[in-house]
Amino acid sequence: MKRIELTVDTETPVTLEKFLLGKKGVSRRLLTKLKRQKDGITRDGALVRSIDMVERGDVIVLNMEDDSFLEPNGSLNVPIAFENESLVVFNKPSGMPVHPSIRHQGDTLGNYFAYLYPELTFRSVNRLDRDTSGLCIIAKDAHAANMLQGCCKKVYYAAVHGEIPESGTIDAPIARERESIILRCVRDDGQRAVTHYKRLKTNGKYSLAEIDLETGRTHQIRVHFAHIGAPLAGDDLYGGLRDDISRQALHCGKLTFSDPISGELISVSSELPKDMTDLFLQEE
């Protein structure tokens, strides 16, 4: 059972439902679940209903039950970049899937999370491809997951082939390749996709780009840079070569978000992994 305390800060009395849904970002789905749960929402130790009035200074307690269903695996040892009562940010290595799949049943970030927090459900907020390294935020409860969804600013770093301009914007719609489940491509009938970047360094053979995504399409960074003739190093799915790195050279290096409870702005950073920095030790 996880306990979350929310202090009413409205100027005038409001219904509990209006406070939770409108002021604190509690989802209607979670509110319905808590209402059906014994002692799901209390005030001063007593059950409080969604139609009851609450006023400034009242402390509302959400008592949330959680279910964990993933097989725990403590041998993975993924570094934690940041943690508080609401969430944990892992620094995921390349080669590790976030979620279990048919081919990956026990070697995922979800399995390591289940080992660390056996009483919690695994709720990833930003999902990284298996071979993409970097920061991955996991909410520790349904309320935190709802508050964080779509609100995390992410900065990626990619090593791409060749020398790209110092900065630029790629605005090109992305669609699924008609004959493939996995592949994406730039196509006029696709969804709008916009990628902003600036070049941090280049050695002629590779350029390091800092990337700010305006939209979040599947494989957006990989597709967009391939589209401008600068595929990611190691990304053989989209035309990159694996001469110097064995996976797509993509890293989620910065996350900025508001704490689900306090609203405090939190920023977490992660250094580039060695296989990407090594690309810039060589000359063309």
Residue 12, SS3 per DSSP: coil
Q: Which two tokens stand for residue 91?
A: 């620094």
Q: How far apart are CA 108 and CA 67, in angstroms?
A: 18
Of 52, 107, 129, 244, the catalytic one is: 129
Q: Long-range CB contacts (< 8 A, 24+ apart) of 103-112? A: 104/130, 105/71, 106/71, 106/73, 107/73, 107/76, 108/70, 109/76, 109/78, 109/136, 109/138, 110/70, 111/70, 111/71, 111/72, 111/73, 111/76, 112/72, 112/73, 112/74, 112/76, 112/77, 112/78
For the chain, the C-alpha Rg in angstroms (whole number) is: 22
Which two structure tokens, joined as six digits, stand for 113?
Answer: 């999370």
129 classed as catalytic: yes
CA pair distance 121, 114, nearest whole angstrom: 8
User: Distance of alpha carbon 26 from its chain centroid, rounded?
Assistant: 19
Are 81 and 270 a contacting pair, CB within 8 Å? yes
Residue found by looking up tokens 């508001």 in the block = 258
| Contact between 222 and 237 (Cβ < 8 Å) | yes
Return the active site residues.
Answer: 129
